[in-house]
Amino acid sequence: MFSLFKKDPVAKLNKAYLAKLEKAMHAQRNGDIKAYSMITAEAEQLADEMQKLKEAKEPSR
């Protein structure tokens, strides 16, 4: 009944993922390649977590 008010964890992770990618883009444009690679790695970890949550949500076929 109250699932309507629950936040979607995938949406939250997606928002954080997009923010990390934007931060990485700015680091790359400023010439800080080390920071770019570290932030991109963090973004990839978020993408992996999102994928796991999506797979857990989907029923097995």
pLDDT digits (tens, 9 = 90+) for 3-49: 667 788 899 999 999 999 999 999 999 999 999 999 999 999 999 99
Containing 48, the helix (H) or strand (E) segment is helix 33-57
The model's confidence at residue 1, banded by pLDDT at 50, 70 and 90, is low
Question: Which tokens hold the place of 45?
Answer: 């970890």
pTM (two decimals): 0.81
Query: Does the pLDDT of residue 57 top 60, yes or no?
Result: yes
- DSSP codes of every residue in 8-47: PHHHHHHHHHHHHHHHHHHHHHTT-HHHHHHHHHHHHHHH
Query: Does the pLDDT of residue 2 top 80, yes or no?
Result: no
